[in-house]
Amino acid sequence: MLIIVLTFSILMTSPGMCGFLICGWVDLISSLVPFLLVVMSSSSSAAVVTAKICFNSQCKEPLPDPPSTRRKGWRLRSGEIADLCDRCSCSFEQGNFCESFHSDDGGWRNCETCGKRVHCGCVVSVSTYVLLDAGGVDCVACARKSLVMAPNQVASSPMFMSQQAPERREFPAKSWKPVSGPIFGQWRQAPHMWNMTSAQSDLQQRLSYEFDRPNCVEKLAPGGRYSILAHEKKFENISEKPITGNLNNVARERYANGKVGIDAASTFGAFRGEGNADTVQDSCRLVGDSDSVSTRKSVNADPCSTSSSGANLDAHPNSCVNSLPSSAIKEDSSSLGLPAVFQSTNGSKEPTRFSANQSQSQTGPLSKQFYPPSVIDPEVQSQMRNGKTRVDNRARSQLLPRYWPRITDQELQQISGGGDSNSVITPLFEKMLSASDAGRIGRLVLPKKCAEAYFPTISQPEGLPLKVQDASGKDWVFQFRYWPNNNSRMYVLEGVTPCIQAMQLQAGDTVTFSRIDPEGKLIMGFRKASCGSSEQDSQAVKSGNGFSTPPEIDNKGTTKDFKGNAESRNLINTPEQRNCSKFANEGVLQKDGLSARSSQGTRRKGGNLGSKSKRLRIENEDSMELKLTWEEAQQLLRPPPNCVPSVVLVEGHEFEEYEEAPVLGKRTYFTTNQSGENYQLAQCEDCSKWRRLPVDALLPSRWTCSNNTWDPERSLCSAAQELSLEQLAELIPCKTGAPKRSKVKVESDNIEVSDGLDTLANLAILGEGENLPPSSQPTTKHPRHRPGCTCIVCIQPPSGKGPKHKQSCTCNVCLTVKRRFRTLMLRREKRQSEKEAETARKQQKQQPNQSSPAKAQVGSDSLKSGLGVNNSPHKAMTNEEGISDEGVERRRASPSPLKAPQIDLNIQPEREEEPSPKSDSGSMMRLLQDAATGTP
DNA sequence: CTACCGCATGGCG
DNA sequence: GCGCCATGCGGTA
């Protein structure tokens, strides 16, 4: 049985608070909250008790005058001990205080084991029971018997607390005093279930409501004298009003934050050292998420738990005590660096492994672990609920996923730089640099929640200097500040330009922020947008370019991952890949070994650029246009011959990895004969005869009759062609067995509206028609990107790579592209001419002498020299005569592939419809543009 | 004129 | 509808 242990040492000031507390307790019960988290519900502001009468509000017996002679009761939140009269003290010591005085109050529950009544509703009895994971309570006796409290199972509250989210605000916390002072021996009703270590004692003395999980991430700290308002909005008001006083800011924040034990909380504790309520504000803002809210709710709701025994701490032998600073740290004092809060303030040098990202599975002091967000699936979350997984995922869940740190162990170790083995690195967040971030402005916009969670609290827009160390150990000082923005804040790091430049970061690269504890250093790592340095990538792609086909985008059945292919084609799928492509194209990638350093960054599979930045997306539109063709191209690829793939499992997806680049299959045409038999038609490279092949035949790019192993009789070029051209003409156009036929048709029909590379791809397809028998040309069912496809998409090397097509090149692709481009331009010209003609006609009604159609001709003529290809007036006329449908255009333009080279290419239309100038389709694109502009 | 600063705007989730 | 945030833009040095 899992047991939730109360680990807080918060004392209620008075049992008289039970009313309030009970409300919370009952509320908890009524809401079937399975667990209780201890909370300080501080409805009482009377923390200092100097009673001269019995502290029991129902007694009020005068106490003996010398305080030393008074009998002690429970520990108050102030740290003092309630003075009781003899009678009440005896009752307290005998463990029946609540039965005597609170029997009519709410908050009574029965021990799940023995059925004994336990008063869970007030501070007095808080140590007499333990909370069970499954809900309910056990009395201490029973809990002791079943004390198989696996550390991992203890205090897994933060997860379950999320179930209580909605009612947080029902328990406005009020000010209270920090508990300081005597300790647990005072807990008469708290049998020492567990021994208490000195450190724990120390903790208790420091009033840190450490709700320690074994991984030390769950903490709840009591605040100092501060106010936690019921509504977060009010924090705004408070935030601007510094609250003075000797506050335990960390504790306060933790409490205010209500995020018991999540990374943010601990981080707050680490970073936030302001002596004002801004801390509260900020931390509470973070609590906007339901789970956090719930946390606070539960915190507030269970006053009983405010008193806890150190025994609870003992329940967590692995507890990593992240002690808290006992004094407030002024914001200003925290300048340059991360303040002392990071120090292990319990006085020990014990590493504070409260890293939210630290799994409790960590076994040693050097625990640099990180679980990628991908692990946060329901199952894992369930595990987390059981306390078996680092809980910081919850903390991180408060950040947008794109800010989740994706730092690998390798990165972490790099960051740690072989430093203190006791140091613990806590990945905080990361951010992909926007154009603004990477620009010259020198301002890095920080995600608000990240800034508020992980950076020092700032109450003034000017903020404070923040020292950040990069992975190489160099210190940078940025100004961490904010701008008021829409009643909110916009956090920025100023002065990042030198650092960005030093790291040679570009928009799209990612900076990561981590923290090394106990030093508390902020570490700024980075990850180039260059793909391929990550471990994951290395798993998926062991060679070369680092491009791989992410499983999540390759879930359409394409499981072959040809190394180098993506790069070689500059075809990109994911936003990051697009980025990579873009940057690679721009030559900003892989500068001087930075790519090696970037190995500390793990390229995220999903990337986070495209989802947010429209601008960046726009910049990568060229790449996006390639997406389809890439996906399709993948299907066209054939494993390299005589190459045995190695199967790599990446995130559950099997990939066949080939050390060699794929080959492009021979273009074939699926068809069905009269008997319904499906087969392919392939053309011999040598004799151009068409051979029938099985549908599953995969042909190399160059295929000849001699390769016709399926039909030995026709394995020689001398063998007669089985089908006549007429038959071919009939069969090929009505390919019923061809996959994706309908799609092809649709695409073909829609070619007219396509643009950019897509258009080019279509263009190229048209050009491929040259391989078809003449009679098969006029089809709108042209198989697109089929095996053997030699379209521009499939054969075009990436930008700047591979042989460039000369302007005079008359290869299929070039001719097709030119032809298509010309057609497009002509079409546009025609439209424009018509438009102008229409306008002219309208104008002619007023000015009869105007005429415009000549303009188009002028435009064409003026550009004739650009392509350097003979013009064909006939063809031009053909197009001008109104080919607006791509199929029609294709039919007319390519009645025979053999005639394609004769197609007029010299008509140069206006440039305004250049197919996606941004699309970097490589040399072919340039060729096209060159052709259009007349520039070489 | 440029760089910087601070705020405003608007797209987007 | 709201908040975040990327970026624009005017003011200022």
pLDDT in tens, A661-672: 555 556 677 777
A849 touches strand C (CB under 7 A): no
Cα–Cα distance measured from residue A167 to residue A189, given in angstroms and rounded to the nearest whole number: 30
Compute φ and ψ for A228, nearest 5 degrees.
Answer: -115, 115
Query: Where is pLDDT greater, at A471 or A897?
Result: A471
Residue nearest to nucleotide B12 (CA to C1'): A612
**Stretch A829-843: mean pLDDT, rounded?**
68
Q: In the structure, how far is the CA atom of residue A125 from the C1' atom of nucleotide B10, in angstroms?
A: 56
- The answer to whether the CB of A529 falls within 8 A of the CB of A509 is yes
* Cβ-based contacts (< 7 Å) between A 615-634 and strand C: 615-616
Query: Where is pLDDT greater, at A34 or A815?
Result: A815
User: Helices (H), strands (E): how many in chain A?
Assistant: 34, 22
User: Could you tell me how far CA A26 lies from the centroid of its own chain?
Assistant: 39
* Cis peptide bond prior to A774, omega within 30° of 0: no
Q: In the structure, how far is the CA atom of residue A281 from the C1' atom of nucleotide B2, in angstroms?
A: 39
- DSSP character at residue A602: P
Q: In the structure, how far is the CA atom of residue A920 from the C1' atom of nucleotide B7, in angstroms?
A: 37
Cα–Cα distance measured from residue A148 to residue A156, given in angstroms and rounded to the nearest whole number: 15
In terms of C-beta density within 10 A (0-12 exposed, 13-18 middle, 19 or more buried), how is residue A195 classed? exposed
A486 touches strand C (CB under 7 A): yes
Sequence-separated (6 or more) residues with CB below 8 Å from residue A207 = A9, A10, A79, A178, A179, A180, A221, A222, A248, A251, A324
Closest CA to A254 of A38, A403, A405: A38
Angle at A175 between CA A172 and CA A181, to 5 degrees: 130
pLDDT for the residue numbered A691: 84
Q: Nearest nucleotide by C1' from A481 CA?
A: B6
In angstroms, what CA-CA distances link A142 with A114, A137, A187, A240, A714? 7, 10, 18, 49, 87
Residue with tokens 């188009």: A856
**Stretch A739-759: mean pLDDT, rounded?**
32
**Stretch A767-796: mean pLDDT, rounded?**
33
A447 touches strand C (CB under 7 A): yes
Write the pLDDT tens digit of every residue in A523-557: 888 877 764 333 333 222 232 232 233 333 333 33
Token couple for A792: 């521009």
Write the pLDDT tens digit of every residue in A371-390: 333 333 333 333 333 322 23
Query: Where is pLDDT greater, at A875 or A412?
Result: A412
Q: Nearest nucleotide by C1' from A616 CA?
A: C6
Q: Nearest nucleotide by C1' from A433 CA?
A: C6
* C-alpha count within 13 angstroms, C-beta hemisphere, residue A829: 28
pLDDT for the residue numbered A467: 84
Residue with tokens 């029971």: A129
Residue with tokens 């726009």: A618
Name, of A61-70, A252-261, A353-362, A763-772, the range with top average pLDDT.
Answer: A61-70
Q: Which positions of chain C lie under 7 Å from any protein Cβ? A: 3-8
pLDDT for the residue numbered A760: 33
Write the pLDDT tens digit of every residue in A207-251: 222 222 223 332 222 223 223 333 333 333 333 333 333 323 333
* Residue A348 pLDDT exceeds 50: no
* Residue A748 pLDDT exceeds 50: no
Q: Nearest nucleotide by C1' from A446 CA?
A: C5
Q: In the structure, how far is the CA atom of residue A909 from the C1' atom of nucleotide B12, in angstroms?
A: 38
- The answer to whether the CB of A822 falls within 8 A of the CB of A869 is no
Residue A798 DSSP SS3: coil
- The answer to whether the CB of A744 falls within 8 A of the CB of A761 is no
Write the pLDDT tens digit of every residue in A4-59: 333 233 333 333 333 333 333 333 333 333 333 333 333 333 333 344 788 887 77
Residue A846 DSSP SS3: coil
Token couple for A654: 């099997």
Q: Nearest nucleotide by C1' from A615 CA?
A: C6
- The answer to whether the CB of A254 falls within 8 A of the CB of A178 is no
Confidence of residue A847 (pLDDT cuts 50, 70, 90): low
Cα–Cα distance measured from residue A8 to residue A284, given in angstroms and rounded to the nearest whole number: 20
pLDDT for the residue numbered A652: 60
Cα–Cα distance measured from residue A669 to residue A688, given in angstroms and rounded to the nearest whole number: 14
Mean pLDDT over each residue of chain A, to the nearest integer: 49
Residue A513 DSSP SS3: strand
Cα–Cα distance measured from residue A866 to residue A911, given in angstroms and rounded to the nearest whole number: 12
Cα–Cα distance measured from residue A53 to residue A70, given in angstroms and rounded to the nearest whole number: 10
Q: Which positions of chain B lie under 7 Å from any protein Cβ? A: 4-13
Answer left, alpha or beta for residue A740, where phi above 0 means left and psi between -120 and 50 means alpha. left
Query: Where is pLDDT greater, at A135 or A925?
Result: A135
Q: In the structure, how far is the CA atom of residue A480 from the C1' atom of nucleotide C8, in angstroms?
A: 22
Closest CA to A60 of A116, A98, A101: A101
Predicted TM-score (pTM) of the model is: 0.30
Sequence-separated (6 or more) residues with CB below 8 Å from residue A354 = A215, A216, A217, A219, A263, A266, A270, A320, A322, A424, A426, A517
